[in-house]
Structure 1
């Protein structure tokens, strides 16, 4: 197999544009997923059965459905639903980018919720009693005392889930979004360079994921050493 380096060089700017969109998806999915997931985690721990039941049902539903199916649902069904609720009579254009951002936040929140909930459960019950003794409201107790401890306890797992999220962004190509894999696919189909493009994308994914996994490993070692 003869590798055309000139073709790879000419395709590089387009690949980098796709990589940037992949990183945007990851950033939005992580930030929105952790925020929404933390709310779900608190709801699951709530004494309110209705609130806890809703959060539990949501988490179990999202964790039982493939991400690619959720992408299709949001991309094809949500425009129809918005059109129906607003009496437009036809689907309302949502756009691939907005669809992807919303999908990843909603989907990843279910996974981050379970991770954050495990973090809350790892906190000593005495911490909860101390917050009550100090007269802190539940909101202030979670924000200033409990949430920072919970995140610290599960930080390596949160980062590992983020690596998985980064890999899952490759699924957005099914709605013709130009992420890293989508950009490589379009170039490969245009120039007939399937092997070169997919090898290049594989190397890029490997570099990012391997570097992130090594960082997680070092972080675990530091946290384990600090806990001794």
Structure 2
């Protein structure tokens, strides 16, 4: 084992890590936003909205993420061509980002729904008594408290997404793992680079998990 070739290759691998973090941040933001909408739909008294959101969540939680990534990679350009009648090239990054947002939204939806249901119903009744409408109650009272309670779970799911970003190798996107693997193949030291990549993933994920546990204890208190 010779790890000396890793240091000169760090700038190239850092570009891959930047791609991984970009996918992570945008995927979490989009997933939480869409997941919040889905959670409100699931909690709605409208049976149509509730069933549509439930079907969405059940579907995406029942299929592997790799399938979603490859499906969106081929489906997004086809759908845009069907809607616009023109060929609109969509890169691997955009298709992967859409796949992450829609897939993770199913999991964030359940986290947000559980957070909303954990708030005592008496608070909503008191807000209605003060003359607030449903949107004001959710925006000013329920969601701020719910997000505080579910922050550790949201962060834990974000750690899982950070690990899952390595699946973008299927469509040729150069994330951190793919960058490390390709440079190891070029130099002729694939094992050393894969071991290094594994250590980086472990260090980041384990450190983030410890921070989430500390945050959970602090929020609980």
Out of 100, 113, 118, which is 2:109 matched to? 113
Distance 2:101 2:60 in 1: 11
Residue pairs, 1:10-29, within 5 angstroms: 10-29=8-27
Distance 2:116 2:197 in 1: 38
Count residues in correspondence.
Answer: 221
1:168 counterpart = 2:179: no
Distance 1:134 1:104 in 2: 40
Who is 1:136 aligned against?
Answer: 132
What SS does the aligned partner of 1:93 have?
coil
What SS does the aligned partner of 1:135 have?
coil
| TM-score, scaled relative to structure 1 | 0.94
Distance 2:53 2:166 in 1: 28
Who is 2:28 aligned against?
Answer: 30
Name the stretch that deviates more: 166-175 or 189-198: 189-198
Who is 1:122 aligned against?
Answer: 118
How much does 1:141 deviate? Answer: 1.1
CA RMSD in angstroms, aligned pairs only:
1.1
Who is 1:186 aligned against?
Answer: 182
Deviations 1:28-81 (A, max 9, x none): 111111111001000000001111111111111111111100001110122122
How much does 1:210 deviate? Answer: 0.9
Runs of 4 or more above 4 Å deviation: none
| Unaligned runs of at least 5 residues, structure 2 | none
How much does 1:167 deviate? Answer: 0.4
Out of 190, 210, 213, which is 1:214 matched to? 210
Distance 1:31 1:80 in 2: 26
Name the stretch that deviates more: 120-129 or 78-87: 78-87
Distance 1:93 1:189 in 2: 30
How much does 1:100 deviate? Answer: 1.4
Distance 1:54 1:112 in 2: 16
Who is 1:70 aligned against?
Answer: 68
Residue pairs, 1:80-99, within 5 angstroms: 80-88=78-86, 92-99=88-95
How much does 1:4 deviate? Answer: 4.2
What SS does the aligned partner of 2:9 have?
helix
Who is 1:199 aligned against?
Answer: 195
1:148 counterpart = 2:144: yes
